[in-house]
Amino acid sequence: MGPVARRIALAALLVLLVPGCSNGDEDQALPVPSPAGSTTGDPSASEPIPSPGESGADVPQNCDDVVPFTRIVQIVAVPLEGGTGRVYADDFPADSGRTARLTCQYGVRPAPAGGEAPPPQVEISLSGYVDGDAARTRLEDTVDSARAGGQQVQAQAVSGHDGFLLADAEDITYVVAVDDRTLVVTLARGVVPEPAEQVVLVGLVEAALGVPAATASPT
């Protein structure tokens, strides 16, 4: 084979080889390494854990998450006798509409010999419901029961929320529904001088509603 024929044959061979190499590279991609520390096959690593609030209002289980004890003492401005109490429950019947309730008690005193324990000096109760309608219904039932029981009932707004002041010889209470929660704050008679009772009660309500201390004021 002469020089010209050899060059023609070599050129033809290169034309056949180049497409074959190119197709092989496109069909076979390089593996991509996984990020360091990642795992597979564990659902907990990728699926969010449902929070208690997904089926209703989320109610804290600790009293300091509602109002810190130091803030309670600051608002009342007098020593509270006795200890503290806390009750949390989330096993209410479905038809009640309530999902959870946290009750915080301050100034819990023991019962005298042969008698009953006096009520706590301050009590804050926060309840969650399946929706706002259930919370408002509960508020209305509480107010109607207070009227039927002879308590004084007065409509009063605190921090832009419409609630009610309930009063009798034993204590004064403020009740309000905010979205899908209800808040009940009770102050026993005699803890503070009578002229200061409503001011202290409203201060406790504002603290439980999350109003900053600098702007808290009775309405």
* C-alpha–C-alpha distance, residues 27 and 147, integer Å: 82
Mean pLDDT of 23-30: 38
Q: What is the DSSP letter of 112?
A: P
Task: Select the more confidently predicted residue: 51 or 60.
Answer: 60
CA-nearest of 161, 187, 216 to 78 is 187
pLDDT tens profile 178-212: 999 999 999 999 999 999 999 999 999 999 999 76
Mean pLDDT of 115-133: 96
What CATH number was assigned to the domain covering residues 52-111+118-215?
3.40.1000.70
Provide the pLDDT for residue 58. Answer: 85
Ranges of each domain in the chain: 52-111+118-215
Least-confidence region, from 27-31, 61-65, 178-182, 188-192:
27-31
* C-alpha–C-alpha distance, residues 11 and 1, integer Å: 15
Provide the pLDDT for residue 218. Answer: 40
**Under a CB-based contact definition with an 8 Å cutoff, are residues 126 and 181 in contact?**
yes
> How would DSSP label each residue in 61-91?
SSGGGTS-HHHHHHHH-SPPPSEEEEEEE--
- Is the pTM value of this prediction over 0.75? no
Provide the pLDDT for residue 42. Answer: 36
pLDDT at 130 over 60: yes
pLDDT at 61 over 50: yes
